[in-house]
Amino acid sequence: MQSTRRNLPQLFTDARRWFEEGLLASLEAAGATPVSPTQAQLFAVLDDHGTTVSELARRMGVTRQTAHQAVHGLVAAGLLEQVPDPASARQRLIRRTVEGERAHRQAGAILERLEDQLAERISREAVDALRAALETPWGQPPPPNS
């Protein structure tokens, strides 16, 4: 008999998808530039001062090629730009354009509304407890059992 209990990574994936689908649908309804889930994730991990493609890929847990493709699409859409990295002549930083900053603020406001809607559904107390648990440092994963 198979267990119907889902593990935490599966639940985290569903929770992320819930927010992602709500964000993308709200952006589309507002007439914002369409973005893919990967592009939305890239926006979320981008530093304000700019980030290299390699670092974006690491933060997103994707290949450098996948991150580069997402960057390319967002540059073409006018939401990101590539600028020289003052710390390294060989690297370029990816950062938001003025339009990208506006879209980032809009996405932040939408995510706040989604969190409020979640609190209406499962209670503010549950959302606050979830946030507190996820903000608590977990430390490194334990070593494999020998």
Write out pLDDT tens, residues 5-63: 999 999 999 999 999 999 999 999 999 988 999 999 999 999 999 999 999 999 999 99
* Torsion (CA) 14, 138, 65, 76 in degrees, nearest 10: 70
Contacts of 45 (CB under 8 A, 6+ apart): 51, 56, 59, 60
The Cα 43–Cα 95 span in angstroms is 9
* DSSP 8-state symbol, 81: E
Structure tokens at 130: 């979830």
65: confidence class by pLDDT, cuts 50, 70, 90: very high
CB hemisphere CA count around 116 (13 angstroms)? 6
Percentage of the chain beyond pLDDT 70 is 98
Q: pTM for the full model? A: 0.85
Residue 89: predicted pLDDT: 83
